[in-house]
Amino acid sequence: QQQIESFTIENPAQLEQFRIAYVGRKGVIADLFEGLKAVPAEDKRAIGAELNNLKNFAQNKFNDYSASLENQQLNGKVQAPLDLTLPTVPDELGAIHPLTIVRNRIVEIFERIGFNLSEGPEIEDDWHNFTALNFPLNHPARDMQDTFFVEKNPDIALRTHTSSVQVRLMERQKPPIRSLMPGRVYRNEAISARAHCIFHQVEGLYIDTNVGFTDLKQTLYHFVKEMFTKDTRIRFRPSFFPFTEPSAEIDISCQLCKGKGCNICKYSGWVEIGGSGMVDPNVLENCGIDSQTYTGFAFGMGIERITMLAYQIKDLRLFTENDIRFLKQFNPLS
């Protein structure tokens, strides 16, 4: 006991020596317990009790010192002198993603002329993505090549365009409808500087009595001049979509080369930013809207493309690479 008492423990190494000598299974006390076997039966009880006391004594000393050493270490840390000349850890502020900036700007422009916002699910059924939009049953756009199917029969897929939100809106709301529908869409396409399998569109839908193609044109003229510059030119190119008739592709003068020709506009001076047209009467009827009373227009534009033009970005893969040096460069547009 005296030995145990006089053993000095001032650091973790000494604590460990103490543990090995007295507490551990190969220490002296363990040896003494081993020797108990040879003690005559009548003395075993008394000596056993003594040994137990000794063992507890050693264990308690070990526990006390290990706790106090731990405290010392903690206190040591807290009490380290504070160096007020050290620079602080910089607080990095996040930045708004360029696609978000542009989407917000688009929403702002259309809200000012009376459009509200609508949303729909990214996982869609065949009806909302295709059938209600007047796609014939064997239309090539339903092919495995374009569409990511989640389930076959009944078909459930990742929406290939925001036009599915038009359908959902017309099904639940009677005209007048004037709504903007931004969202993420998916197509099974090879990834390149100009295309991605995940991208964003913003759909617009305007349905009322007496809505004509001139309304569509004027709305998009207004948008393009607000989004870009007053001298931005726009042209409507005849096209086809199953859900609009007539249909037109929307082109604007290339913002990167100002019409001089570059690889983004493929040296034509024009870039396509989306599709548009008068909503096909079949679509109105599919959604429970009387096509004798109401007409409307719709358009769908690519947010990536508009962002590339607004910020002179030449490769849309940058949007999804999460390189902070790229992402933090963008200031809000107004």
CA nearest 310: which of 114, 160, 102?
Answer: 102
Using CB under 6 A as the criterion, what x/- string covers residues 186-215 for binding ligand PHE?
Answer: -----------------x------------
Contact track, ligand PHE, 218-247, x by CB under 6 A: -----------------------x--x---
Q: What strands lie across the sheet with 234-241, from one edge to the other?
A: 116-117, 177-186, 198-208, 295-302, 270-279, 244-253, 234-241
CA distance linking residue 122 with residue 159, whole number of Å: 6
3-state secondary structure of 185: strand
One-character DSSP codes across 28-49: HHHHHHHHGGGS-HHHHHHHHH
Closest distance to ligand PHE from the beta carbon of 277 (Å): 5
Q: Counting contacts by CB under 6 A, is residue 298 touching ligand PHE? A: yes
User: Binding to ligand PHE by residue 276, rule CB under 6 A?
Assistant: yes
Residue of this chain nearest to ligand PHE (CB atom) = 300
Q: Which of 120, 182, 296, 300 binds ligand PHE (CB under 6 A)?
A: 300
Per DSSP, the residues of 2-23 read: HHHHH----SHHHHHHHIIIII
Cross-strand bridge partners of residue 200: 184
Tell me: is residue 245 an annotated ligand-binding position. yes
List 299, 303, 306, 310, residue binding ligand PHE (CB under 6 A): 299
- Of 61 and 161, which has the nearer Cβ to ligand PHE? 161
CA 51 centroid distance within chain? 66
Binding segment for ligand PHE (CB under 6 A), chosen from 45-53, 108-116, 297-305, 315-323, is 297-305
Contact stretch for ligand PHE (CB under 6 A) within 59-67, 107-115, 295-303, 320-328: 295-303
User: How many residues lie near ligand PHE (CB under 6 A)?
Assistant: 12
Q: Compute CA distances 222 → 60, 98, 334, whole Å.
A: 84, 22, 15
**Cβ nearer to ligand PHE, comparing 98 with 275:** 275
**Distance set, CA 46 to CA 27, 39, 49, 59, 310 (Å):** 21, 11, 5, 20, 93
Q: Which of 277, 289, 303, 307 binds ligand PHE (CB under 6 A)?
A: 277
Site for ligand PHE in 149-188 (CB under 6 A): 161, 163
| Distance, CA of 73 to CA of 97 (rounded, Å) | 46
Number of other residues whose CB lies within 10 A of the CB of residue 318 = 15
Phi, psi angle pair for 43, to nearest 5° = -95, -15
| Contact range with ligand PHE by CB under 6 A, out of 27-35, 62-70, 79-87, 271-279 | 271-279
Q: In the bound complex, what is the minimum distance in angstroms from residue 261's beta carbon to ligand PHE?
A: 25
Task: Report the interface residues with ligand PHE, using CB under 6 A.
Answer: 161, 163, 203, 241, 244, 274-277, 298-300
Q: Which residues are annotated as a binding site for Mg(2+)?
A: 245
Q: Which residues are annotated as a binding site?
A: 245
